[in-house]
Amino acid sequence: MTDGMLGIVPHKTSNKDFIKKGIKPSAQFQAEEQQDMLTWVIISSIALAMTMITSLVIHPALVDAGLEAWVVVLIDSLIGAAVMLVLTFLVAPALNEAFAGETAVKEVDPASDPAAGK
């Protein structure tokens, strides 16, 4: 901002076009499934717990068993992938179905102020 001018306002020295009139959208995007914050907290907690168990229990046990390093890394990776697939495709939809309610926005007040907590 120089000379007290905003960068988004066209003026005689600006190379920007004037603001063009838009159109209202004819359709509204809808989520494929309703999401719930509690689902993400539970999924994240389970993923963190499995990561800690794999890192602190399973990995040292595999190393102590005398397996080669690449086998240990492969087993660790397969465990992580399997856990994430189960959480993503089985657990998350079940939790979303159990917790998610109607979260669609029905009406927006253009005079509302999000900063004021309305």
The answer as to whether 91 is a domain residue is: yes
> Structure tokens of 29?
């995007």
Contact 95, 38 (CB under 8 A): yes
The answer as to whether 26 is a domain residue is: no
**What's the structural domain count of the chain?**
1
Per-residue pLDDT of the chain (118 residues; tens, 9 = 90+): 455 555 565 566 766 666 677 777 777 776 666 778 899 999 999 999 999 999 999 999 999 999 999 999 999 999 999 999 999 999 999 998 888 765 555 666 666 666 655 4
pLDDT at residue 96, rounded to an integer: 86
pLDDT at residue 97, rounded to an integer: 85
The answer as to whether 15 is a domain residue is: no
10 Å CB burial of residue 87 (0-12, 13-18, 19+) is middle
The answer as to whether 78 is a domain residue is: yes
Radius of gyration of the chain (CA): 26
Q: Does pTM top 0.75 for this prediction? A: no
CA distance 89 to 95: 11
Contact 91, 43 (CB under 8 A): yes
pLDDT at residue 118, rounded to an integer: 45
The answer as to whether 106 is a domain residue is: no
